[in-house]
């Protein structure tokens, strides 16, 4: 990454956090970065591309903070506590940006970003799992998948509080607290059969990968068109108009969610459209 790209990323994070992703223009990002709008496009294809790079930058920062502890000479438990403290600290450092993402639901509308989050979640799961084994020993390896997911759930619950009001919490104290909770869980789980096995996890990962590969919005629309051509409907012309409006809206630079939601509601009585309707709704984060 060049110094200019780092400057644009810093400007993008600042503006997105302050104004919101949707309300920030490329012209504003360029001006904040001290470059022309044309120069912006030499480094990033679009605002979505910049958002993706910002998220990559944050994840890389998290990984660097974890890696910096890896080679320290200390017991596995203390090392892991320092690593999850660094994990918490990095996210808190970008709390305004992360709050913006949550408010605007920017992530569900971008497939590449969803793939990135899936990849990073898988990597963090491996990190938790390796940490559990290093602390509690190889005998707990069969239960390590369940332990990793339990810790991940605790982590996500508390990070929400830390992002909202980090001043009220001591990060390392929280990390010690979470590990004491894991100690209690380990005492019980060691006598139980694992709920999640390697085989089950591999199946879940495979299904998730297939979902990402097949969940291209334009592919969904093409399949919907093919299905429509085979249908015999009394109101076929009206349904075709709804499909055309939906296609136009999806291809807009900023799709309007109320319009998409309205068009999808026109397909509710067509049973063979259920899959397409739900897939499009999920893509745009529509409940």
Instruction: Give the CATH number for residue 155.
Output: 1.10.357.10
Q: What angle in degrees, to the nearest 10, is found between the helix axes of 111-136 and 198-214?
A: 170
pLDDT of residue 87 exceeding 70, the answer is yes
User: What's the confidence (pLDDT) of residue 90?
Assistant: 83
Burial of 35 (C-beta count, 10 Å sphere; 0-12/13-18/19+): middle
Q: Are 30 and 37 in contact (CB under 8 A)?
A: yes
- Confidence at 231, pLDDT banded by 50, 70, 90: confident
Name the token pair of 92.
Answer: 């808190």
How many other CB atoms are there within 10 angstroms of residue 43's CB atom?
A: 18
49 occurs within a structural domain: no
**pLDDT over threshold 60, residue 19:** yes
Residues 195, 83, single domain; the answer is yes
- Give Dmax over CA atoms of the chain in angstroms: 74
Nearest CA to 83 among 68, 94, 93?
A: 68
- Asked if 67 and 208 sit in the same domain, the reply is yes
pLDDT for 202 equals 75
Q: How confident is the model at residue 178 (pLDDT cuts 50, 70, 90)?
A: very high
Do 169 and 178 contact (CB within 8 A), yes or no? Answer: no
Total domains present in the chain: 3
- 46 Rama sector, left if φ>0, alpha if ψ -120 to 50, beta otherwise: beta
pLDDT over threshold 70, residue 9: yes
35: pLDDT strictly greater than 80: yes
pLDDT over 80 at 206, yes or no: no
**Between 28 and 102, whose confidence is greater?**
28
Range of the domain at 5: 1-44
pTM over 0.75: no
Looking at the domain assignment, is residue 19 inside a domain? yes
Q: How many CB atoms lie within 10 A of CB 257?
A: 15
Helix (H, G, I), strand (E, B) or coil at 105: coil
Q: What is the pLDDT of residues 246-277, one digit of tens each?
A: 999 988 878 889 999 999 999 988 888 888 88
Same domain for 176 and 190: yes
Percent of the chain with pLDDT over 70: 92
Tokens at residue 153, please? 């759930």
């Amino acid at each position: 990454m060049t110094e200019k790209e780092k400057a644009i990323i810093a400007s993008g994070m600042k503006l997105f956090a302050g104004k919101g992703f949707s309300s920030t223009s490329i012209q504003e990002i360029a001006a904040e970065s001290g470059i022309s709008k044309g120069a912006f496009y030499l480094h990033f294809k679009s605002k979505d591309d910049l958002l993706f790079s910002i998220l990559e930058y944050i994840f890389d920062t998290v990984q660097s903070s974890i890696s910096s502890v890896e080679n320290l000479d200390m017991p596995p438990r203390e090392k892991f506590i320092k690593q999850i403290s660094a994990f918490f600290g990095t996210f808190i450092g970008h709390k305004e940006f992360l709050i913006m993402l949550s408010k605007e639901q920017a992530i569900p509308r971008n497939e590449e970003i969803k793939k990135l989050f899936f990849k990073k979640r898988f990597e963090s799961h491996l990190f938790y799992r390796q940490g559990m084994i290093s602390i509690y020993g190889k005998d707990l390896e069969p239960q390590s998948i369940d332990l990793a997911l339990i810790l991940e759930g605790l982590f996500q619950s508390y990070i929400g509080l830390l992002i909202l009001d980090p001043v009220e919490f001591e990060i390392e104290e929280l990390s010690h607290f979470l590990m004491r909770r894991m100690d209690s869980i380990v005492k019980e789980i060691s006598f139980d059969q694992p709920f999640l096995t390697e085989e089950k996890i591999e199946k879940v990962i495979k299904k998730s990968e297939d979902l990402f590969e097949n969940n291209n919005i334009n592919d969904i629309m093409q399949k919907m068109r093919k299905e429509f051509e085979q249908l015999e409907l009394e109101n076929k012309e009206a349904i075709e108009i709804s499909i055309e409006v939906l296609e136009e809206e999806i291809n807009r630079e900023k799709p309007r969610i109320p319009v998409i939601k309205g068009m999808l509601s026109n397909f509710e009585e067509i049973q063979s459209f259920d899959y397409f309707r739900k897939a499009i709704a999920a893509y745009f984060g529509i409940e």
